[in-house]
Structure 1
């Protein structure tokens, strides 16, 4: 049933604001000359839908995916309408919920033709159109809502009556596109910089503009042109190896919106204007594959969640079909379950290749603004040894003061871990400058990370660290990171080496630091393990019935200690988390700290020791 009050409020709004849409006979610009005239034109045209339906007659995998999406849509039918409810300064959770509903109900409607799905989708559109605004102060919220409403408008265009269609279109202009133009004109930096906000803001507005392009060609062409001008800045961040500087959690968000934007342009305009050729984009699908350890947890950095698991990412289907790389789709098929099936798995459907999975290299260097080196003893072995280490830039968006940080898996357990993000609503959480409030929060500063500290100070907030050397092979694989900028206040030179040793049965972490004047040097590793200190230079870590032995190989006389990582509110508590540390109270001159981390293997036990050589000799 149509919402008569909403239609009435639309009429009042038009009279009070004086805003009217452009006439449909306005001359279109060159960008819109190839615009698909008919709705639906976004993401999944009717011709592609018919091809999928035909394929599903014989493709059992696709048939199961669409059944999963329809089941999700059925659950949406009984959900209450979305309400205007912020969390801190954000409406983002509501925008995301609306987007999920639009995709699920929309695919179900278009696949089955059952009007109950279109009706519920329309109700959701009218509910958010009745919001006072889409929270343009935090424009990510507006962009996601504009995406949702634009797509919904396009997909149920012929289901809606003319009055409802006009209301939704008007709201999309006044609460989505018009605030977008205002932000562009104000020079809103989130639209132009190199991180996920770029893809989300430009992509969301682009999709909304394409939805109403025939009725509002001027504003649509303006927004599409600006998106095309700004998206290359973000896409350049994938170069050269596909790494995303904000970490793997935001890799998924940014890459999904890249896929949204380029797909929408292809379906509505017949071209992505060459954006898919951005260096690094064709190989970025390998980043999550190499970054996941044998435990199933990603090598995490920046504002990632605690123990972020390797989960389904439908954009892998898009990457697979766009770049004709079955590795990405095959990996994604192994992750899809009834719980995480997405409409995007249908829209970007790529069948499994049927090939034996590609044997990836055990070691991988991923270069980019935040470089990572990843080493493992084996693939397809949940007990394998895995270590990842990062370089990069401490001012990377969502970054922490963690240059040189490492994480380590073995025996099915994550031994050395990153705590991840804290609450985004903490005061001045986004104050990145040197001395900013951000760096006083335990999870974001250096003390919680698996890095050295000098004189108890954080790393330089503006420091850049380069992954200077990398080698994969025998007698051991290693990476060396130049950390001097991070510690320039107290040291003339600082380097970290991370290696797999003893036939990949143990990991060696070696720091060489030239200290200016005597000060405390702290070596630390964050862990959930129970730590038992043995001899002065040995610690026994136990977790989930497994054991790892840590040994101080250098300097002579150094010993381990145990400290708590727990914090008081309002910060996250880190309950039960400990720090294995080495404190050198008066480090001076060239100081080498070498720590051997050796799992106690079922066969052969732990590695007792290895020869220590200077990093220059590695």
Structure 2
């Protein structure tokens, strides 16, 4: 009966989706034979020739083959649910099936086909792909569809039937059910991933169900335009570094599938800001690998970094470790801006030389080779822009003194609102690096399951939600201000203002008043790099009819020393940073513990809060300048001469 109902729903699919369809694909069109997803059969030779002539790609190809050899004796995946999710299983299925299918197509060795077929049949036979958490379904559908398509002509008729049936019943059909497809109306990574994953399935089965598949593709063409509107602010992605990789990779995979089959993108790349979003991502990564080595040992313990050659601006629910990012090669080819892969090539070379096992943990790593086949690695220049700004719900500014100097300064400043998917109460916060050390850091997210399993209503974004009691999520744990011990106001929003880039100064300011309006009448923060020598943070507080007790906070993994009420010295790996504060109020330098009183919070061992406390009387305007000075440098001009607001 269940199979009968599923069949009826699939037959009704064109009717269900007709009202949502944009002008898109037609079921009458002839599309390429298998393999048709991402890499056509005729393109295999192009890829082989590219690998043969480019040492970096040759080494990467060989690493993928070695990893496939390590997969051969592994047991097949099972339905291992953790809390709400089997997402880890779906992602490992992509990694195994994609790698093994790639290895077979490029080498012709039957052992990779046999192992991939074994995995395909195992996950196809699972009871379901966990539609209540639809990301699990989307990624499993992508995994199984790539294997079905890339290995189609080698699979037996029975294997094809079993795999195709699983794609239909466990992937496509649940996407039609209202209780599971709320992501269609979303504007975040869920929409991009789920539309991308389901489109993998629709295109893999196209000749078996042309009307149903065309309808699904047209539904996705309409729906995916919603999250693509978030790129409008100069390409800035509100959910941050890791979610950019997740959502944007699936968005590009979706576009790439359309272009491979229909030779057009149906106008998707015309979405404002979309083709500039790789520039946003490039700026999100901090100081160069060669200087980050100075802090690897200390920072790895704190951030749980697996690569630690770079740190990113990890606002919101993001870790600080950077990763290999295959989709940057697609953007480089699409925009003809080869500087987008300047750092990517360096990361790739470093991980290959080190034989770093994290290299082959990326489930879409074979796409780096596919997207590189038409990209030249010659004359890849260092990026030219040193400053980037983007508005929106996660408004931000990023500036640096150099892309490749051992002594560069990097500053990322966060504006916007906490009321954003995966958002934190981090408005006004910043990260700061100098001499290869991250001096001002951000915790990033805690593992979701560790909180959900303790009953924390983590996805409730209301002002009084338990989410904001999680130690890492509220403003007390970020490099911003806390006034009278209160949390930031969820409904508040602070855009980037007064962006300045001139000789001797890169800076921005923000009006933080909407985040603190119950405590003060006005609050402004400015931040910038001055003379390529030091960072200046300026805060101006205006009180109403009550006094304001202010905490100026900075999170660090360095060892702190209080020199006097205005001065704090940070030390790490034989480097140092001096924090000096001056203002029109009486200041007190402080060190606070990062240990949480809640049993559900993760350990923050190896970190410390440092900063200053001061009081602002009622009906008063006061300001404070804090400068962060690397090494033995001394400011060459008075801060009072510098305009930030």
Q: TM-score normalised to the size of structure 1?
A: 0.91
1:354 to 361, 378, 385: 378
Q: 2:202: which partner in 1?
A: 209
For the residue of structure 2 that corresponds to 1:33, the secondary structure is coil
Q: Is the 8 A contact 1:146 1:172 kept in 2?
A: yes
For the residue of structure 1 that corresponds to 2:281, the secondary structure is helix
Q: Residue by residue, what CA displacement relative to the aligned partner does 1:259-292 show, whole Å, maximum 9, x if unpaired?
A: 2111111223332211122221212112232222
Q: Residue by residue, what CA displacement relative to the aligned partner does 1:343-388 show, whole Å, maximum 9, x if unpaired?
A: 1112211444421523422222234442221222222113212211
1:574 to 595, 600, 604: 604
Once the two structures are overlaid, the 10-residue window that deviates more, 266-275 or 484-493, is: 266-275
Q: Is the 8 A contact 2:585 2:615 kept in 1?
A: no
Q: Is the 8 A contact 2:396 2:412 kept in 1?
A: yes
Distance 1:145 1:251 in 2: 20
Q: Residue by residue, what CA displacement relative to the aligned partner does 1:560-588 show, whole Å, maximum 9, x if unpaired?
A: 11101122532111112111122224543
Change (3 A) 1:40 1:262: same
Distance 1:594 1:188 in 2: 50
Distance 2:9 2:124 in 1: 17
Distance 2:428 2:87 in 1: 33
Q: Is the 8 A contact 2:585 2:614 kept in 1?
A: no
List alignment gaps of at least 5 residues for structure 1.
1-11
Q: 2:318: which partner in 1?
A: 304
Report the Cα offset of residue 470 of structure 1. Answer: 0.5
1:147-158 residue pairs with structure 2 within 5 A? 147-158=142-153
Report the Cα offset of residue 35 of structure 1. Answer: 4.3
1:463-474 residue pairs with structure 2 within 5 A? 463-474=492-503
Q: Residue by residue, what CA displacement relative to the aligned partner does 1:442-469 show, whole Å, maximum 9, x if unpaired?
A: 1011100011111111111121111111
Q: TM-score normalised to the size of structure 2?
A: 0.88
Distance 2:9 2:529 in 1: 66
Change (3 A) 1:159 1:435: same
Q: Residue by residue, what CA displacement relative to the aligned partner does 1:316-365 show, whole Å, maximum 9, x if unpaired?
A: 11111122221223432222133426211122114444215234222222
Q: 2:458: which partner in 1?
A: 429
Distance 1:18 1:195 in 2: 31
Change (3 A) 1:57 1:163: same
Q: Does 1:543 align with 2:572?
A: yes
Q: Which runs of 4+ in 1 moved over 6 A?
A: 15-23
Change (3 A) 1:587 1:132: farther
Q: Is the 8 A contact 1:552 1:559 kept in 2?
A: no
Q: 2:542: which partner in 1?
A: 514
Q: 1:611: which partner in 2?
A: 639
Distance 1:615 1:366 in 2: 21
Q: Is the 8 A contact 1:362 1:375 kept in 2?
A: yes
Q: 1:324: which partner in 2?
A: 336
Once the two structures are overlaid, the 10-residue window that deviates more, 217-226 or 482-491, is: 217-226
1:79-98 residue pairs with structure 2 within 5 A? 79-98=74-93
For the residue of structure 1 that corresponds to 2:424, the secondary structure is coil
Distance 1:20 1:443 in 2: 45
1:473-484 residue pairs with structure 2 within 5 A? 473-484=502-513
Distance 2:217 2:190 in 1: 16
Distance 1:96 1:365 in 2: 33
Distance 2:184 2:335 in 1: 27
Once the two structures are overlaid, the 10-residue window that deviates more, 364-373 or 207-216, is: 364-373
Q: Is the 8 A contact 2:129 2:137 kept in 1?
A: yes
Change (3 A) 1:525 1:214: same
Q: 2:296: which partner in 1?
A: none
Q: Is the 8 A contact 1:553 1:595 kept in 2?
A: yes
Q: Does 1:375 align with 2:385?
A: no
Once the two structures are overlaid, the 10-residue window that deviates more, 402-411 or 266-275, is: 266-275
Q: Is the 8 A contact 1:375 1:387 kept in 2?
A: yes
Q: 2:240: which partner in 1?
A: 247
Q: Which has the higher helix share?
A: 2
Q: Residue by residue, what CA displacement relative to the aligned partner does 1:476-531 show, whole Å, maximum 9, x if unpaired?
A: 22101111111111122211000222x22111111112222113211111111221
Corresponding residue pairs, total: 595
Q: Is the 8 A contact 1:434 1:461 kept in 2?
A: yes
Report the Cα offset of residue 393 of structure 1. Answer: 2.1
Distance 2:473 2:169 in 1: 38
Q: 2:41: which partner in 1?
A: 46
Q: 1:504: which partner in 2?
A: 532
Q: 2:325: which partner in 1?
A: 313
For the residue of structure 2 that corresponds to 1:612, the secondary structure is helix
Q: 1:165: which partner in 2?
A: 160
Q: 2:300: which partner in 1?
A: none
Distance 2:119 2:190 in 1: 25
Distance 1:329 1:595 in 2: 36
Report the Cα offset of residue 545 of structure 1. Answer: 1.6
Report the Cα offset of residue 437 of structure 1. Answer: 1.0
Q: 1:3: which partner in 2?
A: none
Change (3 A) 1:362 1:324: closer
Change (3 A) 1:607 1:18: closer
Report the Cα offset of residue 19 of structure 1. Answer: 6.7
Q: 2:21: which partner in 1?
A: none
